[in-house]
Amino acid sequence: MTTTVEQSISHFMQSRSSVRAYEKGKTIPKATLQDILKLAATAPSSWNLQHWKFIVVQDQLIKEHLLPIAYGQQQVIDASAVIIVLGDVQANKNAEMVYGEAVKGGYMTEEAKGELLKNIESAYASSETVGVHEAIRNASFAAMQLMLAAKAYDLDTCPMGGFDPLALRQELNIPDRYIPVLMLTLGYAAKPAHPTSRFDLKDLVIKDKF
């Protein structure tokens, strides 16, 4: 038997699409935007290091500066907000704070925390690319959660990988510690996205092994 909650979850996931035409000049209520970002931040992450930051751009002049950086994609100007999802390549530095809180809360011993911190540092030291891979992987979890949260608030989004990351870094003064993973437009759809096809599960699912 399908519950109301399950129906809602299914509805939001199936109705989410990449919207590129937005109602111009509409402002997202501050409380709504805060709720969406809070929900996005509940995404899972490796070691709970929470490898994401969100730059929320609502200033119209800055959005206009982003237009050429996004190769002229008009939704950057028309959407109510543009959210830059950043990945933290040095998220291992978050471990002390994350697990210090766990110790304070009585969920972990100081000894267990010390062992876990050593494991995290060892993992990050094992390869120069670990930090980048973890940043992209985990920030993507938060980005997807943000898009679903937005849909639950009757807002639409469009995830964009087509932008100049170096120019974006310069324009928004992004520190080297963070890499731009995704640019997301957020706002009120002026028209629905066109339908897109999806592969059948028989083309996607492999039982047990290839």
Residue ranges of the domains in the chain?
A: 21-192
Greatest CA separation for the chain: 56
Q: Which tokens hold the place of 176?
A: 């080297």
3 pLDDT band, cuts 50/70/90, is: low
Start-to-end CA span in the chain (Å) = 33
Supply the pTM of this predicted model: 0.91
Residues 168, 128 contacting (CB under 8 angstroms): no
- 8 A C-beta contact, residue 140 and residue 182: yes
What mean pLDDT comes out for the span 117-128? 96
* pLDDT value of residue 10: 81
Give the dihedral sign, CA 76/82/83/89.
Answer: positive
Task: Report residue 70 CA to chain centroid gap.
Answer: 17
Give CA–CA dist 157/15, Å, rounded: 11
CB-neighbour burial class of residue 55 (10 A; exposed 0-12, middle 13-18, buried 19+): middle
* Residue 169 or residue 1, greater confidence: 169
Quick check: 1 pLDDT over 50? no
pLDDT-above-70 percentage for the chain: 97
CA distances from 92 to 34, 40, 107, 134, 152 (A): 26, 20, 20, 10, 32
* Averaged pLDDT, 117-122: 97
Query: Which burial class, exposed, middle or buried, applies to 159 when counting CB atoms under 10 A from its CB (0-12, 13-18, 19+)?
Result: middle
Give yes or no for a contact between 115 and 86, defined as CB atoms under 8 angstroms apart: no
pLDDT tens column, 11-20: 887 788 888 8
d(CA 202, CA 86): 34
CATH number for region 21-192: 3.40.109.10
70 class by beta-carbon count within 10 Å (0-12 exposed, 13-18 middle, 19+ buried): buried
Residue with tokens 């959660």: 145
